[in-house]
Structure 1
């Protein structure tokens, strides 16, 4: 991809960021209504329409970015595997925080505390959104299943908190194949987000300590070279 195509792609991504964020929230809201209001056919139809419209926005963005990249569809899918995965499973859109964390790692030589704070904030918000999405998904799979211990949405939220924090009390567990697949994804994502937060926070602390050491060394050098010696 040449410089011109890369510039056009970056401009598109910058402009599409907020609309895609709104579409993501609409998708999550529509999915929540479709799961929690499963007994109301009118709300179900509205929720499905919102989900379809949001998914259409994701698809248009994916195709536009593929076109601007100048790559073939298969090559673009392989080189942008995270975007492809998010397109297929929109509930995983919070995983795009990986790009923010990668940007932080690339700028370790010139740390900006606002960037560290942004990465931690994005990771925390992604954990909340991913947890809520996972609770909805596992509740949809588990409700009404024979022998299920996750019978209410409250049970699903409690189970997600246990899973993302790697506590795992075992009082509520998924029993269906779909629920266990969601559990595996949440475990992997929980570890990744936890690593992003701890890594960014550790890098920030190291940068602070290095700056303090540098100031201390400069203070000692200034004291030795200053006017503290005997005058003429």
Structure 2
């Protein structure tokens, strides 16, 4: 296990960042969907949003300093982290790293690689779909000429975009809405590729083991022979 200052920082801050991400997503959802809430509640949610984003900024700055890289090089090597910092509503997808950090810290057995990839991808899709639908709804629902008028429309649009189906019945008309959509498209393609590749690799390993087994040898052969 790497024991550099950067690695230690990431291990010890994983849970903190996950909690901050959950608070950010909850406060963001309340502000977007809770139009009829008292002004005090909405103001409190705004404070939570800024506080969580400040935690993300501090983490980004500390990791840059601990990496001992010039900023342009660090930026090129951490494009996803920079994008998430600029679009913090996508930050909750990093929650999936918490399990890995906890397992490394406790030195416990982990899931197989294929199972982890599929599990993390599934959790990431759920979180990304929720955050993306909130962002699209916030930008589109009150815009003249928009056809994404309800949160249900935003959820449907985000699901079709993430799955790369893209029926075309709904589409954003604002600049920020389209920017969020581009990010959702890119993440959907990446996650779909990760799951497909992992599943294909698992199938190849299964077929390879079947091919290496001697003719007539089956999982139940030894049991039948013993009987």
Query: TM-score interval w.r.t. the shorter chain?
Result: 0.7 to 0.9
Going from structure 1 to structure 2, the CA distance change for 1:161 and 1:51 (only over 3 Å counts) comes to same
User: Residue 46 of structure 1 aligns to a residue in which SS?
Assistant: helix
User: Residue 216 of structure 1 aligns to a residue in which SS?
Assistant: coil
Normalising by structure 1, we get a TM-score of 0.78
Mapped pair 1:194 → 2:210 = no
2:66 to 65, 68, 90: 68
Q: CA deviation at 1:75?
A: 2.9
Preserved contact between residue 6 and residue 67 of structure 2 (Cα < 8 Å): yes
Q: CA deviation at 1:194?
A: 0.6
Structure exhibiting the larger radius of gyration computed from Cα positions: 1
Aligned residues: 205
Over the residues paired in the alignment, what is the CA RMSD in angstroms?
Answer: 2.7
Q: Over residues 89-142 of structure 1, what are the superposed CA-to-partner deviations in whole Å (9 max), with x where a residue is unaligned?
A: 22233665999xxxxxxxxxxxx9612111111111111111111110110111
Q: CA deviation at 1:215?
A: 3.4
Structure 1 counterpart of 2:31: 34
Distance 1:162 1:211 in 2: 37
Preserved contact between residue 97 and residue 122 of structure 1 (Cα < 8 Å): no
1:1-232, aligned counterparts within 5 Å?
7-40=4-37, 41-93=39-91, 114-216=112-214
Distance 2:118 2:83 in 1: 23
Distance 1:167 1:206 in 2: 27
Preserved contact between residue 136 and residue 180 of structure 2 (Cα < 8 Å): yes
Normalising by structure 2, we get a TM-score of 0.80
In structure 1, list runs of 5 or more residues that go unmatched. Answer: 100-111, 220-232
Distance 2:132 2:51 in 1: 21
Distance 2:177 2:210 in 1: 49
In structure 2, list runs of 5 or more residues that go unmatched. Answer: 98-109, 218-227
Distance 2:96 2:21 in 1: 17
